[in-house]
Chain A
Amino acid sequence: GAVVSQHPSRVICKSGTSVKIECRSLDFQATTMFWYRQFPKQSLMLMATSNEGSKATYEQGVEKDKFLINHASLTLSTLTVTSAHPEDSSFYICSARDRGRPVYGYTFGSGTRLTVV
């Protein structure tokens, strides 16, 4: 079945530094990838939608200069949290839609727990 690999699974960084999170579709081509943020004991909130070869579409209230998304290939999207602050600490999870099965394909990565100290 479809597999999405997300790395790193956990990262701790100092305030003011940047962190890059990778989301890879391992056995399918993903024209569209999604980035979610989940605060403790809360639901997933869509941050942005990235389409291969074009600019990401951000949800209202999400700072695009802070959360840089790059979708350079059909199998890789990256989320970079720039100048991270403690309030950016959260669980970030990506999902990818299978190009070959657009109606079915929402495969989620295993998530990245970011802690900014």
Chain B
Amino acid sequence: AQKVTQAQTEISVVEKEDVTLDCVYETRDTTYYLFWYKQPPSGELVFLIRRNSFDEQNEISGRYSWNFQKSTSSFNFTITASQVVDSAVYFCALSPSYNNNDMRFGAGTRLTVKP
């Protein structure tokens, strides 16, 4: 069975603070993909990153960085120097490599960045 847990329901920070969104997953598959999506108030899902289970290198993209720790089944997402525009719901998701149909989403973390 697959499961994605985002324990933080809501996080509130002040602009320019760094914030980390946690994601812990469970899977019996040896290969899988992990994703992060951003859902702003308008509702659309914005793709942020896809990580293959074979690739444990951390990734940085501007103010965004991701820490993939296979040993702890975690795929955490850090926003550095947060901005008001970062306010959104962020979803972590998991799918087996052999069957991309079966994408499971975490419950989401609502991030509010205050000016």
Contact = CB atoms under 8 A, between A and B. Distances in A.
Q: Which range holds the interface residue count of chain A?
A: 20 to 34
Contacts, number: 45
Main secondary structure of the interface of B (DSSP, over half): loop
Contacts of B106: 43
Interface string B22-36: 000000000000010
Given A43-B107, A93-B43, A49 B91 contact: no
Contacts of B61: none
Interface in A1-53: 9, 32, 34, 41-46, 49
Interface of A: 9, 32, 34, 41-46, 49, 91, 93, 95, 97, 102-104, 106-111, 113
Interface of B: 35, 37, 42-45, 47, 50, 91, 97, 100-101, 103, 105-108, 110
